[in-house]
Amino acid sequence: MDDTHDANSDPVDLSVDLAGVRMQNPVMTASGTSGYGPEYAPYIDINALGAFVTKSVTLRPREGNPQPRTVETASGMLNAIGLANVGLDRFIADKVPYLGTLRVPVIVNVAGHNLEEYVAVCRALDDVPCVAIVELNVSCPNVEDGLDWGTDADRLKRLVSATRAVLNRAKLMVKLTPNTGDVAALARAAIDGGAAILSMINTLRGMAINVDTRRPMLANVTGGLSGPAITPVAVFMVHEVYEKVAREAAIPIVGMGGIRTWRDAAEFIIAGASAVAVGTATFIDPRAPLAVVDGLENHLRRHHIARIADLTGTLTR
């Protein structure tokens, strides 16, 4: 059969449903790569995405780690930004007005030093009408306490339960770490705590050394590895969680980790993701997420697949 026969006449539905939050297509930005929106807006029509994800917001402002805090590696990059952000009060006063003008769902990534800080930020964001989803960042590998919550199933469940209790409107998404021996157990803990959506994976812990000076290339010594180098790990972990936990629980997964092209995105979706996030690739081509949308649409047309949702979890062994 000719794969392109009548492709343009086939109706295609790219919309996805994330726990009741409707997205016009399955592609969003990844936290930490597009600022709060205005920084990215000159390069792309944000309203053409499925959703927009902000950088992390903490209760109080954070300056982040000292420079240098990014370094390019083979097939990726290391970052040790350290959750630098303006803090909750300035986020609401200065950043929310712009976010409120967007016509796509807004997802705010939330981080904290302790349970009380997470709860305080989530409670405040639940009162912000434009915030559709709160993404708990429990998996940042480049701050001192960044993995404390995300690598212990019991602590993770307590944190998710506490934040879920103060979210009456916004949906709760939990971002899982790959820096663990059992990602499915962490996914199960997040779901048991009340997560409506899972996002995965965050960066892998890594380091780079200048062999001439014999010094680390990051001031923080270690950082989080992102980019194409981690894609196979991310696809495997998405499939692992989908098969062992998420499918039965009917919990959607947002897959991420080095997505550059529509083919990368399709891998994640076939592995079990309902939606995908593009991050590091935007540093090379800010329009990469829109190219992923177009590529997925063309792929569905070529294969006469009516809905992107019909592609989720269709891996054939």
Asked if 140 is an active-site residue, the reply is yes
As a whole number of angstroms, the distance between CA 107 and CA 21 comes to: 10
Rounded to 5, what percent of the chain is helix, strand, coil? Answer: 35, 20, 45
Catalytic hit among 140, 191, 230, 253: 140
| pLDDT over threshold 50, residue 238 | yes
As a whole number of angstroms, the distance between CA 163 and CA 143 comes to: 21
Helix axis angle, 183-193 relative to 153-164, nearest 10°? Answer: 30
| pLDDT over threshold 80, residue 60 | yes
Please write the tens of the pLDDT for every residue from 146-198. Answer: 446 788 999 999 999 999 999 999 999 999 999 999 999 999 999 999 999 99
Please write the tens of the pLDDT for every residue from 23-47. Answer: 999 999 999 999 999 999 999 999 9
| pLDDT over threshold 70, residue 145 | no
Per-residue pLDDT, 9: 63
Least confident piece of the model among 128-142, 150-164, 259-273, 295-309: 128-142
Per-residue pLDDT, 146: 44
Mean pLDDT of 279-296: 97
DSSP tag of 264: H
Percent of residues, the chain, with pLDDT higher than 70: 94
Per-residue pLDDT, 248: 98
Per-residue pLDDT, 140: 61
pTM of the model as a whole: 0.94
Please write the tens of the pLDDT for every residue from 64-86. Answer: 999 999 999 999 999 999 999 99
> Which ranges of the chain does DSSP label H, i.e. alpha helix?
88-90, 96-99, 115-125, 153-164, 183-193, 231-241, 247-249, 262-271, 281-284, 288-302
